[in-house]
Structure 1
Amino acid sequence: MRKPKWEDLDRNCLVSIFGRVGLESLLLAVPFVCKSWYKATLIPQSWQHLDFSVLIYDDSRYDVDFPSRLMDTYRVEGDFPITAFIKSVVKRSGRSATYIVLPELPNRCMDEALLYVADECPALRTLVLHFKVFQGFHGPRSKVPNYISKWTNLQSLKLQSSFDLQELLTQISIHCKSFVALAIECAKIGRDEASAIVNFLPNIKVLDLRYAFMRQESLMTILQGCKQLEVFDARDCIGFNEGDEEILKHASHIRSFKHEGSDSVNIC
């Protein structure tokens, strides 16, 4: 009996695997294994999971950064075309991308890439933005709340920070009926922001507000109002003390409530 070969794997099986391996493997390894693997990378569903954080050089991971290796492999000369690369990869997904991570990039590149994702990724379920969503900034970053209407399948959103939180949550409540997870690093959660989370995200199951500036009254508003919370990360926050008995009492319905390292000192 002939031993099965990797190139004989069912095409649908290959696509399912390649949808999880990441951009580096999809672009620098998989297409060069054999013809059947190369053909599988031409199927849009192989490009549903797009993490563009590989564009940011990390010398602890590689001897040569990803853009340089990509340019060497495909014999591209000159400066790395960041925007064109992101758009070409998103285009390969055939509007089927469900997971996208966009890192901090030069303003012009970031703005154009975000606009393209808004128009070409209607199936998006998870979006991670490693940059601040500005209020008053005259560009696409300030228009992130306006893009939410294009992502009606969105279930999870992670932000580096946001100054448009109430407007953002308003749009999510209107357009994203399956939304269940929100993460905002270093957020400022005052009375209005806490009320917006409760009022606009009544079905929220996962909430990550680590490193937030959040008084105890705002935290209590969330704990009392978000009855379906299953995971709540409020570690290393400023504005309340870890181990507070009242907080723990109102968080008892949450399967995983993390609040270690939080302190009420030094908050204005």
Structure 2
Amino acid sequence: MEEERRWEEINTDCLVNIFRRLGLEDLTLAVPFVCQSWYRATLDPTCWRVLKFRRLDFMPWSNLSKEFSNRYGLNGRFSFSCFLKLCVARSHGEAIEVEFPLLFGASIHDLTFISHRCPKLRKATLPILQSEDEPHLPEIIGRWHELEQLEMECKPSSFQELVNNLNPKLNSLKMFGSFKNDDVSVIVNKLPKLKCLCLSKSYMQKDELLSILNGCNSLEELVVRDCVGFEVNEEVLKRVMHSGIKVFEHEGSNLVNEDGYDTDECDPLYVHAL
């Protein structure tokens, strides 16, 4: 009878091909502790090219925090920064995508760290930062010369400088906030390759919307749902029709909010309430 093959004897390349499809929780807490061959396979940088932290629970009382602290001998001193540094070290500079937690854990120091250690990022989903940290964003993002997709929550105070520092080949931008003429101008002039622009839940007037439609010549998808400051009328629809845009989502956008006020407030809690 043919001897049964054992999991730990699987070719390392096959293991790596499997493990690179797993999430960070499995790669840090489960797979490395099965056997030595599986542990060695998880050290391959290709397993750590996509660093998605957003769906993980980094609260001190979470199962992830407790188990990570126990597995790595931290004696309860777990932090998001600790988890981040392990994942980034395993990537050996080969990470191409990072998705930060939205609210809890990540700091400007974490962003600075990953901007130095992960220079090949193509997609970045950034956390909400303290207002005093926002001026550092242009310098941080400017280190990602290959960045193609950027997603943020609220538009930062340093927005125009940030766009000036972006890779001009960026093809996707997503955030919400108050977008005035100068903000739209920098998008149009500095991001000529932009294909997807999502500004849902933002404040923007019709002139700014038309400027985007007239100036972003490569745009294929424009999402402006639940915005305040404009209504999509025949003029806008006609411009969309002649722009080459394939996807135009504008449901819920109005001249005024549901309380009857035309506003350019950029408070995240206010905008999410729309």
Report the TM-score, using the length of structure 1 for normalisation.
0.85
Of 162, 165, 168, the residue aligned with 1:168 is: 162
Amino acid at match of 1:142: P
After superposition, the CA RMSD in angstroms is 2.4
Amino acid at match of 2:234: E
Distance in 2 between the 1:56 and 1:197 partners? 34
Q: Is the 8 Å Cα contact of residues 135 and 157 (structure 2) preserved in structure 1?
A: no
Of 151, 154, 177, the residue aligned with 1:158 is: 151
Amino acid at match of 1:78: G
Amino acid at match of 1:182: L
Of 99, 112, 119, the residue aligned with 2:109 is: 112
Q: What do the CA deviations read for 1:73-125 (whole angstroms, capped 9, x no partner)? A: 4443123233232122211110111111122345xx61221111111111111
Residue pairs, 1:234-245, within 5 angstroms:
234-242=224-232, 244-245=233-234
What is the aligned partner in structure 1 of residue 36 from structure 2?
Answer: 35
Of 119, 122, 125, the residue aligned with 2:122 is: 125
Q: CA deviation at 1:64?
A: 4.5
1:148/1:3 CA distance change after superposition, 3 Å: same
What is the aligned partner in structure 1 of residue 238 from structure 2?
Answer: 249
Indicate the SS of the match to 1:150.
Answer: coil
Distance in 2 between the 1:192 and 1:76 partners? 49
What is the aligned partner in structure 1 of residue 188 from structure 2?
Answer: 198
Amino acid at match of 1:181: S
Residue pairs, 1:11-160, within 5 angstroms:
11-56=12-57, 64-103=62-101, 104-105=103-104, 110-132=107-129, 134=131, 137=132, 139=133, 141-160=134-153
Q: CA deviation at 1:41?
A: 0.6
Q: Which runs of 5+ in 1 are unaligned?
A: none
Q: What do the CA deviations read for 1:50-83 (whole angstroms, capped 9, x no partner)? A: 122245458xxxx944212322344431232332
Indicate the SS of the match to 1:127.
Answer: strand
Q: CA deviation at 1:233?
A: 1.2
Q: Is the 8 Å Cα contact of residues 95 and 121 (structure 2) preserved in structure 1?
A: yes
Distance in 2 between the 1:5 and 1:220 partners? 63
What is the aligned partner in structure 2 of residue 259 from structure 1?
Answer: 250
What is the aligned partner in structure 1 of residue 212 from structure 2?
Answer: 222
Q: Is the 8 Å Cα contact of residues 211 and 235 (structure 1) preserved in structure 2?
A: yes
Alignment size in residue pairs: 253
Amino acid at match of 2:53: F
**213-222 vs 7-16, greater mean Cα deviation:** 7-16
Q: Is the 8 Å Cα contact of residues 196 and 219 (structure 2) preserved in structure 1?
A: yes
Q: CA deviation at 1:28?
A: 1.9
Q: Is the 8 Å Cα contact of residues 18 and 26 (structure 1) preserved in structure 2?
A: yes
1:223/1:4 CA distance change after superposition, 3 Å: farther
Q: Which runs of 5+ in 2 are unaligned?
A: 264-274
